[in-house]
């Protein structure tokens, strides 16, 4: 049975490049169409079975995070369809779904509500979330006082303790100390055994080889290759070695609402 079914997925953004002296001038120029269309995803077709753990690789800017945002309904496709089955838990950019002025505890409940949980369901898992995060002494402090690693710990802990059917992880294991990364990998193996569908973006071949029997490569905003992870890692290494840093791009405004 399919957990995720993607057919003919395209996602377009408008990039407004010119700098203007005033906000009024920006709005006037924007209304005249001073922008370029940028296709972040091009004709992506992908099926993921329930209980599958799929690695997602690609250089920076290839379209990996955009793909996850469309799957989790943060973004709407420009063309094509995305069908999912079950509750989706997503850990994307660090701090997404969190409020910097809320305490850690308040953010746990806020983030859980965003993911569709009722307060009683969050309370049932609260002790496990707190224990796993390892930041018990800071949970009454506002999130803006947290380090990047602490935010990552909190976000990951909430995401994996709400019994998701589909878990989307975007480079979350690249942050934090070695001990916490090991703890996260062990937790992912545990929920994988329970039948949770996992999609994981990572630049770490070791993490991919450990968790994901199969992986894909997103290249130039298209699904470039799919296969066994050992093969995909080797192809990705060649792509990454040949890929230089992206050229600077002056962007005044980015629109996703169409």
What does the alpha-carbon distance between residue 185 and residue 159 come to, in Å, rounded to a whole number?
A: 14
Determine the pLDDT at residue 244: 60
What does the alpha-carbon distance between residue 220 and residue 234 come to, in Å, rounded to a whole number?
A: 18
Residue 154, Cβ density class (10 Å: 0-12 exposed, 13-18 middle, ≥19 buried): buried
CATH of domain 2-255: 3.40.50.300
Q: Angle at CA 14, nearest 5°, toward 10 and 18?
A: 155
Classify residue 242 as left (phi > 0), alpha (psi -120 to 50) or beta: alpha
What does the alpha-carbon distance between residue 108 and residue 120 come to, in Å, rounded to a whole number?
A: 12
Q: Please list the ranges in the chain whose pLDDT falls under 50.
A: 247-258
Beta strands 222-228; 253-255: pairing state: unpaired
**67-104 tens-digit pLDDT:** 999 999 989 999 999 999 998 988 876 566 788 999 99
Give 37-79 as a DSSP string: EEEEEEEEEEEEETT-EEEEE--TTSSHHHHHHHHTTSS--SE
What does the alpha-carbon distance between residue 18 and residue 120 come to, in Å, rounded to a whole number?
A: 49
Q: Please provide the average confidence, as pLDDT, over all residues in the chain.
A: 85
Judge whether 250 and 20 are in contact, CB under 8 Å: no
pTM of the model: 0.82
Residue owning tokens 């968790």: 211
What does the alpha-carbon distance between residue 176 and residue 191 come to, in Å, rounded to a whole number?
A: 20
What does the alpha-carbon distance between residue 179 and residue 189 come to, in Å, rounded to a whole number?
A: 16
Residue spans per domain, the chain? 2-255
Measured CA distances, 226 to 2, 156, 215 (Å): 17, 27, 6
Determine the pLDDT at residue 69: 93
CB atoms within 10 A of CB 11: 23
With pLDDT > 70 as the criterion, what percentage of the chain qualifies?
84
């Amino acid at each position: 049975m399919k957990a995720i079914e993607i057919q003919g997925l395209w996602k377009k953004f408008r990039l407004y490049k010119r700098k203007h002296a005033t906000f009024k001038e920006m709005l006037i120029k924007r209304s005249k169409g001073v922008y370029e269309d940028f296709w972040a995803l091009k004709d992506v077709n992908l099926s993921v079975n329930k209980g599958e753990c799929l690695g997602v690789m690609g250089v920076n800017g290839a379209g990996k995070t955009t793909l996850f945002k469309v799957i989790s309904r943060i973004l709407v496709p420009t063309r094509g369809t995305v069908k999912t089955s079950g509750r989706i838990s997503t850990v994307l950019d660090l701090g997404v779904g969190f409020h910097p002025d809320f305490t850690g505890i308040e953010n746990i409940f806020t983030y859980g509500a965003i993911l569709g949980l009722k307060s009683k369901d969050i309370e049932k898992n609260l002790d496990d979330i707190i224990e796993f995060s390892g930041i018990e002494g800071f949970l009454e402090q506002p999130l803006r006082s947290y380090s990047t690693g602490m935010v990552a710990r909190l976000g990951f802990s909430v995401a994996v303790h709400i019994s998701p059917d589909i878990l989307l992880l975007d480079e979350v294991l690249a942050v934090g100390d070695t001990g916490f990364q090991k703890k996260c990998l062990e937790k992912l193996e545990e929920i994988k055994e329970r039948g949770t569908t996992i999609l994981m973006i990572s630049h770490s071949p070791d993490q991919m080889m450990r968790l994901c029997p199969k992986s894909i490569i997103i290249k130039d905003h298209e699904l470039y290759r799919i296969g066994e992870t050992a093969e995909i890692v080797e192809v990705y290494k060649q792509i990454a070695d040949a890929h230089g840093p992206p050229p600077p791009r002056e962007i005044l405004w980015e629109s996703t609402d169409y």
